[in-house]
Amino acid sequence: MNVQSAAIGVGAFTPSAPTYLSARDAIRMLRRHARLLLLIASVVMGGALAFYLLAEPRYDATTVMRVVIDDFRPDSDDNPASIREAEQLRTHQIETQIQLLGSRMVARQTVRDLALYDDPEFNPNADPTKRKKARANVAADATQEGSPAPAQRTPSPQLVERTTDRLLSAVKVAQDGQSDFINVTVSSRSPAKAAKIANKIAGNYVRLQVTERRAGRTRAVKQLQELAQRSRSELLGDEMAIAAYRRDHRIDAGPGRDADVAQMARLASELAASGAGLAEARQRASGQSAMSPLLADLRGQQSTITRRRAELSTLYGREHPDVKKAAAELAEVDNAIATENARMERQMMDEASAQGARASMLAGSLGAMRGQSLQRGIASVALADLERRAETTRALYLSLSQRLQRAEQARDSVRPDASIASAALLPTQPSFPRAGQIAGVAVGASFILGMIAMLVAEALQDQVRNAGEVQRLVNLPTFGMVPEIQGHKQVQAHLRVAKEPFTLFAEAIRRSELKLRRYLASQNGKVMQITSPLPGDGKTTMAISLAAAAVASGRTAVMVDLDLRRPGLPDVFDGSLCEKDLVGYLEGRAELDEILVESPSLAGLKAVPVRAAAEDPGHTLNSPRMATLFSRLREDFDLVIINSPPILAVGDAELLAAYADATILILRWGHTTPELLQATTSAFDAPISGIIFNRVHFAKHARLSYGDAIQHFPRNSPYHKGELQGWRQRLGWSESA
């Protein structure tokens, strides 16, 4: 069975807190530092209250501006390609107006208009004689916004710029959510001044933007007028050059080359038709195919007479008078036909001659026109260049004229990009300081500062205070927590154990002695060494008290003082009863019976004292009689307690550990640091059975919630009458608790 298991088996204190920070640990930490947290909260809240009462109130006045967003027209070519681009354009327009409203130009004009350089709020170095005038100017009614500003002295540019800086620091321009509205908020010590400045900034923005935009459009109109006049002069010059060129080259301003081509085509067509008519006339004139109505009638008569003569000849013969008459008629018709044929041939020849003359005339006209067209085409090359130049100048002139007309119309309809939607009203409540805001900030600051102070205090309170910390640091059990002796009565500790059994001190000593008794029984031992890290931890008092508790329970106990450098028992035991001590025994100058001393105030409590410091403690402790001493004491007593020197002071405790069955480390509550405890266990090259906390302040331990069983000690008042009453009253515990 190891030391840890044996300690747990005898009921040693087990850690009540895990190695991590649990919710219970956090609550305990808050309880430990409740007074510090309350102090910080009181200071912060008091400071916040003083600030609220002493701070000069400030008032916020807000003028609402509405941004004029370009309308979306489905038939416009300048529309964005998507809704996202339209939203980006809208955002850009709003951000631009925010920058303009908060611009230095608008603020500078406001400073000049309201003479803020004479206001001490914006110019701490303002002339006192001007303050009343400036305040009266700023406090004017907002309805007089458009009235001209009174005559003011001319300030220096540096003064205006410094005042502008202060004004800009008091102005906040921001978009109202996701809407098209912009809030212009001005903070000032005077509500009237805040409203006046906010409205003035908005008015100056509108006025400056309209003025600048109108001036810009006027300049644009003037430039367009100059360009249009210049373009008109150039157009007139080009047209005069075209007219002169036409005159010099005899080029009519008619249809031009296209008309010539059409006329030549017509002449060519007529010439072709005339040629065809000539050929036809010649063909008719050379042939017998000419025919006329008279000739056709004569030929019909000829055919009739010929047929009739043939019939008569058949009937009557050739000599018949009717046949002869028919022959005479036929001869007469033949003569008429011959005469008509001759006339027709002469007519045909005349027509052919006429067609030939007309064809010759058409061919001459066509040739002349072709020559003129060629000459005109050569001259029209330069003319076309002049005409193109004139056309370009004409288009430019017309475009400039249209732009000039639109610019003149736009000059008379100037509007700003943002208009005043709601003028600033006189604020009735200060925007700063506000009780709710200051209280919230104070509470938050109190919490943060309190947490920081608590963590710092927790870090500065670097002492081992409970069994959990011991377990976490050095993995050792805790056998007891002994309270600090209360009161001013000079009662020795071992007498309290025996004669005041109802005290907390006596109860804690008895409980610790009982646990150690069980632990020694589990180890089959009787010898227990009591030591500590440093002097002043109370190891001697603890050793005597444990021995007294054993005697009070009916056991025999002896305490051996082996602190040969600083003997401590002569103050407790009457050393005058024997002249020899432990040093004499170890040096062979005395026997055990000669050095045993019994306490005169507590029968049965014996000790082996040291009357004076040894000359060579190391040599004395290595005496061969040391083993004989403890062998005899084991036989004669139920409990042997060794009071050894502190571990970090000398190495005697490590040497004496060889004679002990258990080594108990005494820690002073609230003074032993983790580094000290770890250094002690590292320096002690022997097993340490456990620790006992000495001089524990039970009330503070319970109030600060350090854990362990003694945290609940105020509830045990019925068993500790009188001693706990004062503690209960200080802690505020009731009987029912």
Q: What is the pLDDT of residues 303-314, one digit of tens each?
A: 888 888 788 788
378 CB neighbour count, 10 Å cutoff: 9
Residue 730 has pLDDT above 60, yes or no: no
Residue 531 in contact with residue 645, Cβ under 8 Å? yes
- Structure confidence by residue, pLDDT tens digits, 593-604: 888 988 887 888
DSSP 130-142: HHHHHHHHHTS-G
**Predicted pLDDT of residue 16:** 46
730 to each of 87, 495, 605, 699, 706, how far by Cα in Å?
Answer: 69, 28, 37, 8, 17
- pLDDT band per the 50, 70, 90 thresholds, residue 734: very low
Exposure class string for 611-632: b at 16+ Cβ within 10 A, else e:
beebeebeebbebeebeebbee
**Residues in a beta bridge with 737:** none
Residue 113 has pLDDT above 60, yes or no: yes
Q: Where are the alpha helices (DSSP H) in 170-292?
A: 191-248, 257-286
Contacts for 24 with CB less than 8 Å, ≥ 6 apart:
17
| 478-483 vs 418-422, strand pairing mode | unpaired
Query: Mean pLDDT across the stretch 93-110?
Result: 92
- Structure confidence by residue, pLDDT tens digits, 678-721: 999 999 999 999 999 998 887 777 776 676 776 666 666 566 65
- Taking the whole predicted model, whether its pTM rises above 0.75 is answered as no
- pLDDT band per the 50, 70, 90 thresholds, residue 648: very high
**Predicted pLDDT of residue 556:** 93
Token pair 């321009």 in the structure block, residue: 173
Q: What is the mean pLDDT of the chain?
A: 80
Query: Mean pLDDT across the stretch 531-542?
Result: 90
- Structure confidence by residue, pLDDT tens digits, 182-236: 999 999 999 999 999 999 999 999 999 888 888 888 888 899 899 989 998 988 9
**Residue 539 and residue 513: Cα distance in Å, rounded?**
14
**Predicted pLDDT of residue 141:** 47
* Among the listed residues 328, 301, 323, 302, the one whose alpha carbon sits nearest the alpha carbon of residue 313: 323
Q: Where are the alpha helices (DSSP H) in 102-181?
A: 104-114, 128-138, 157-169
CATH domain 466-696 topology: Rossmann fold (3.40.50)
Q: How many CA atoms lie within 13 A of 227 on its CB side?
A: 18
Break the chain into its structural domains and give their ranges.
Answer: 18-55+433-459, 59-222+417-422, 466-696, 697-737
**Residue 402 and residue 233: Cα distance in Å, rounded?**
17
Token pair 């027709």 in the structure block, residue: 344
Percent of the chain with pLDDT over 70: 78
Better-predicted residue by pLDDT, 30 or 1: 30
**Residue 614 and residue 599: Cα distance in Å, rounded?**
23
Residue 66 in contact with residue 180, Cβ under 8 Å? yes
**Residue 635 and residue 526: Cα distance in Å, rounded?**
10
469 to each of 46, 459, 462, 465, how far by Cα in Å?
Answer: 38, 14, 11, 7
Q: Compute the CA torsion angle 695, 701, 704, 707 (nearest 10 deg).
A: 130
Beta-sheet strand order (sheet of 59-67): 171-175, 181-188, 59-67, 418-422
- Structure confidence by residue, pLDDT tens digits, 387-401: 888 899 899 989 988
DSSP 458-479: HHH-----SHHHHHHHH---EE
